[in-house]
Structure 1
Amino acid sequence: MFRAALILGLLSAVGPFAIDMYLPAMPAIATGLGAEVAQVQLTLTAYFVAFGLAQLVYGPWADQAGRKRPLYVGLTIFGVATVGCALAPTIGWLIAFRALQGLGGAVLMVVPRAIIRDMHTGAAATKLMALVMLVISISPMLAPLAGSGLIAIGDWRLIFWALAVAALLSFALTTFTLPETLDPANRIPANIAKLWQGTKVLVRDPVFMGLTFIGGFGFASFMVFIASASFVYTGEFGLDPTGFSLAFAINAIGFFAASQAAGPLSERCGILPVIRWAVIGFACFSGGLWVVGLAGFASLPVVVAGLFLANACLGLIIPTTMVMALDPHGDIAGLASSLGGTLQMVTGGVMVVITGLFFDGTAVPMIGAIALCALLALAVALRTLKVLHHAQTGAVQG
């Protein structure tokens, strides 16, 4: 299981690296391209929205053609777009190439999830997902620091050249170390009728949709943090790129450290209680931090500590809701993974745009948007977990 987690984690980490590595450079990009803060944030929104929509293609394609062919195509698109980002002459071109980069990088979200579902279900799948996320955790801890180092010896464009090299290495990793996990006998021919039928099954499943949006609002909060943190930490709190990278890493460590407890806790306590208490904790910590901020006490240590605790709860939510959403839909795991990922990414993109409307470079609006995401996740969770509990109780009694 560890070898599979390492390979899938390294592939899955390329997408987050494309986000986290250039976060310290966002103020420099604004200066270098003569762009407004909101325009630079659009480079993230464009990436996330394209990333989300492209999953609708990669999922069904992976169910039809196997898991490796979509990886080859997606990585090629990602690599070409990354070179385009490095050469972008204006903020408009950078936004466009970031969207293309998201179209390619989406394959690294869909296919590894489907491979995990090919190999395991239930608690075993949660454990493998957590191991994959442990490997991915190098991104928020090392990627911003790597980006800061590259800025110190060059400019922000050097970051994208490094990502182009990562795309080449990922292509080689896929070719030489990743086996095909979908047997030809289990492949599903992709056609409009079947896709529509499978989509209707998923959309009409209140548990699938509920779990997807619990994770979606949770993920949206992290997207809001990613889009705003560099401006808050460097602008309001006066950190340099390296200081921002360290503060960002502390917040992200809470997420990924907690994600490693998701598998053991699910086995010991059950997945439902883990999700329930994690969502409650997420809402309480983020909501409490917002109240503290409104009271005028949002200092750097308070913000970092509060987000650490909130993100720790989020680390329990994401892997468990992913696994539970896909578990009953193994026959259309690729479609379920892509639809779920699309809904989550689009939700996050919408929340980033909404945040941009009232974001002023300070911590309180950022924290308020995160708290709103947490409260929405809690509202959906209260309904979804009740439905799921009744369904499981009925099955046991039957």
Structure 2
Amino acid sequence: MAPAIRRAPRVTPLLVAVLGLLSMSGSFAMDTYLPALPDVARDLSTSPALVQVTLTSFFVGQALGQLAIGPMSDRWGRWWPLLIGSALFVAASAGAALADDIWVLIALRFVQGVGAAAGPVVGRAVVADLTTGARAARLFGILLMLFSIAPVVSPIIGGPLAEWGGWRATMWGITVVSFIAFVTVFIVPESLPREQRRVVHARTIGRDFLDLVRHRAFFLAALLLTASFGVITAWLAASSFVLQNHFALSPLQYSLAFAAIFVGFLLAGLLNTALLRRFRPEQILHASVNALIVSTLILLGFLIVGYLPLWLLLVLVTVSCSAVAPLAANAIAVGISLVEPNRAGTASALMGAMETLIPAVLIPIIGMFDASPTPLVIAFVLSAAVCLALDLMLRRALQK
């Protein structure tokens, strides 16, 4: 039975930690699985190309899952969709661990993505229900910080699991984490009172999404969030080849460098939380975009002059990726603050789906190029340029 609605729900550290775990479990399911991809191909006697489809199917499932779960949470409250999605995540993870055919695995990874979508989309909606303004932006930033822990921890867990028991051991590890996340759902209070819920069916869902797309300021904030994750996606897609093939780092050295980048992301999130005590979310958003464009242009300049040693690349990539932390947190806060409270789930779903589809589109494109830093730097600069253009348009839209 769902927890009773409180008169004045409080955002406690425990609740924030639980929402963070639920938000990061999907990222954990992706990043932990990566070291096991070659073993999947061997064990299921299939091609690397089909194994890559298990990544795409997860991203697509996560995107579509958010589009479905968000409106459901506006109709039936936050708790039940979160519980059902988390249970689906556990079941699909266990099923994937037992799969004996690549197509079955692809299908179960899709279902796994749908279930994993519940954590981030409902988590953002709960924050929007319980807080507003700078406090909401701080909490969105904290959730992003907790989310950034997954890329740091996942290689440490996924690599040994894959070496010890192959890809199935990795998938069982994901099952355990998803089950822990499922249990924590019972700590989450229902945050959307019955009187604020909306009647939702297929026609109204489509109309709600269309209304959000037509809401100029909201949609610009959503596009800005999406474009900013182009930087993170470019790093995820190219880092292994650039650092291991071009700079000849060992797998362990690569893992340490990869983790260091997201430690910077984590620290930037902490700085964002502190700055929100003095500045408005939109002010920090604009400053973060400026920091991103400056760092990527410096990166491009060093590439053009032909001086880009490993240490300098890592420093500038860390600065660029770190700028995304306050940018993304405040883009979410600004965007969701512009819609009615009983549409927060739908708004969160649209933002999350757009953000999730970026890896599905960009990773195959970036993978077509060589292992030099050039494609990575170009992707960074293009993403930053799009962010700058969207930010300028958002400033004007917010002034109207």
TM-score in terms of structure 2 length: 0.88
Distance 1:233 1:28 in 2: 22
Q: Output the amino acid matched with 1:324.
A: V
Work out which of the residue numbers 258, 279, 293 in structure 2 matches 1:248: 258
Distance 1:163 1:185 in 2: 37
CA, structure 1 residues 140+206, in 2 after alignment: closer, same or farther (shift >3 Å)?
same
Work out which of the residue numbers 279, 289, 294 in structure 2 matches 1:279: 289
Kindly state the Cα deviation for residue 102 of structure 1 after the two structures are TM-superposed.
Answer: 1.2
Distance 1:229 1:127 in 2: 29
Work out which of the residue numbers 283, 302, 307 in structure 1 matches 2:312: 302
**1:83–1:160 Cα contact (<8 Å) kept:** yes
Distance 1:190 1:368 in 2: 43
Count of aligned residue pairs for this structure pair: 387
Matched residue of 2:199: which SS? coil
**1:14–1:167 Cα contact (<8 Å) kept:** yes
Matched residue of 1:382: which SS? helix
**Residue 77 of structure 2 corresponds to residue 63 of structure 1:** no
1:71-103 deviation per Cα after TM superposition (whole angstroms, max 9, x unaligned): 222122222332344345565554443222211
**1:275–1:320 Cα contact (<8 Å) kept:** yes
1:136-194 deviation per Cα after TM superposition (whole angstroms, max 9, x unaligned): 3321221211112323433233221100011111111112x121111112111212343
1:107-142 deviation per Cα after TM superposition (whole angstroms, max 9, x unaligned): 111100000011101111112222223333321221
Deviates more, 1:333-342 or 1:40-49: 40-49
Q: Which residue of 1 aligns with 2:29?
A: 18
C-alpha RMSD over aligned residues: 2.4
**1:153-192 correspondence to structure 2 within 5 Å:** 153-175=164-186, 177-192=187-202
**1:331-350 correspondence to structure 2 within 5 Å:** 331-350=342-361
Matched residue of 1:156: which SS? helix
Q: Output the amino acid matched with 1:185.
A: E
CA, structure 1 residues 225+172, in 2 after alignment: closer, same or farther (shift >3 Å)?
same
Q: Which residue of 2 aligns with 1:82?
A: 93
CA, structure 1 residues 46+291, in 2 after alignment: closer, same or farther (shift >3 Å)?
farther
Q: Output the amino acid matched with 2:208.
A: G
Deviates more, 1:229-238 or 1:335-344: 229-238
Q: Which residue of 2 aligns with 1:355?
A: 366
Q: Output the amino acid matched with 1:109.
A: P
**2:90–2:182 Cα contact (<8 Å) kept:** no
**1:71–1:107 Cα contact (<8 Å) kept:** yes
Q: Which residue of 2 aligns with 1:262?
A: 272
**1:24–1:244 Cα contact (<8 Å) kept:** no
Kindly state the Cα deviation for residue 30 of structure 1 after the two structures are TM-superposed.
Answer: 6.0
Kindly state the Cα deviation for residue 31 of structure 1 after the two structures are TM-superposed.
Answer: 6.7
Distance 1:363 1:55 in 2: 33
Q: Output the amino acid matched with 1:381.
A: D
1:318-360 deviation per Cα after TM superposition (whole angstroms, max 9, x unaligned): 110001100121231011111121122224422223323x323
Deviates more, 1:275-284 or 1:232-241: 232-241
**1:213–1:380 Cα contact (<8 Å) kept:** yes
Deviates more, 1:86-95 or 1:14-23: 86-95
CA, structure 1 residues 223+99, in 2 after alignment: closer, same or farther (shift >3 Å)?
farther
**1:74–1:105 Cα contact (<8 Å) kept:** yes
Work out which of the residue numbers 362, 371, 376 in structure 2 matches 1:366: 376
Q: Which residue of 2 aligns with 1:6?
A: 17
Matched residue of 2:166: which SS? coil
Distance 1:41 1:300 in 2: 28
CA, structure 1 residues 65+347, in 2 after alignment: closer, same or farther (shift >3 Å)?
same
Kindly state the Cα deviation for residue 367 of structure 1 after the two structures are TM-superposed.
Answer: 3.0
**2:281–2:333 Cα contact (<8 Å) kept:** no
Kindly state the Cα deviation for residue 216 of structure 1 after the two structures are TM-superposed.
Answer: 0.4
**Residue 129 of structure 2 corresponds to residue 118 of structure 1:** yes
Q: Which residue of 2 aligns with 1:150?
A: 161
CA, structure 1 residues 99+302, in 2 after alignment: closer, same or farther (shift >3 Å)?
farther
Q: Which residue of 1 aligns with 2:5?
A: none
Percent same amino acid among aligned pairs? 31
**2:133–2:333 Cα contact (<8 Å) kept:** yes
Q: Which residue of 1 aligns with 2:232?
A: 222
Kindly state the Cα deviation for residue 243 of structure 1 after the two structures are TM-superposed.
Answer: 2.5
In structure 1, the gaps of 5 or more residues are: 392-398
1:32-58 deviation per Cα after TM superposition (whole angstroms, max 9, x unaligned): 66644x655543333222211221110
